[in-house]
Structure 1
Amino acid sequence: MEAQKSTGKYWFLCFLWLAIMILLLVFYRQWFWLALPGVCTYFAKGLDIM
């Protein structure tokens, strides 16, 4: 049986990047795309897909 990894820090980073992305959407709409890879990457790591 395989031991499960803790993904708590990845979920924290996912929500942190999500907050940054929302702030960028509100204040600097043209910089929104810079936060998108962080959200997608840590979401996938939080689900233990990567």
Structure 2
Amino acid sequence: MAKKSTGLYWLLFFISTIALVSAIVLRFEYLTLIIPFVCLYFVKAMDII
């Protein structure tokens, strides 16, 4: 089984995490729309799915 490169997924995870934290600080009403992206990119970066 070949090892996949997960660098892009880590980058997207950190960008979406920063977006989530800034949405919390700025009291963005739709911050729950960002949470699935944080979870998805974390799982893909950890190579779970």
TM-score (norm 2): 0.91
Query: What are the ranges of 5 or more consecutive residues in structure 1 without an aligned counterpart?
Result: none
Give every structure 1 segment of 4 or more consecutive aligned residues whose post-TM-superposition deviation is greater than 4 Å: none
TM-score (norm 1): 0.90
Q: What is the root-mean-square deviation in Å for CA atoms of aligned residues? A: 0.9
- 1:7 equivalent in structure 2: 6
Query: What are the ranges of 5 or more consecutive residues in structure 2 without an aligned counterpart?
Result: none
Q: Count how many residue pairs are aligned between Structure 1 and Structure 2.
A: 49
Sequence identity percentage: 39
Distance in 1 (alpha carbons) for counterparts of 2:25 and 2:33: 14
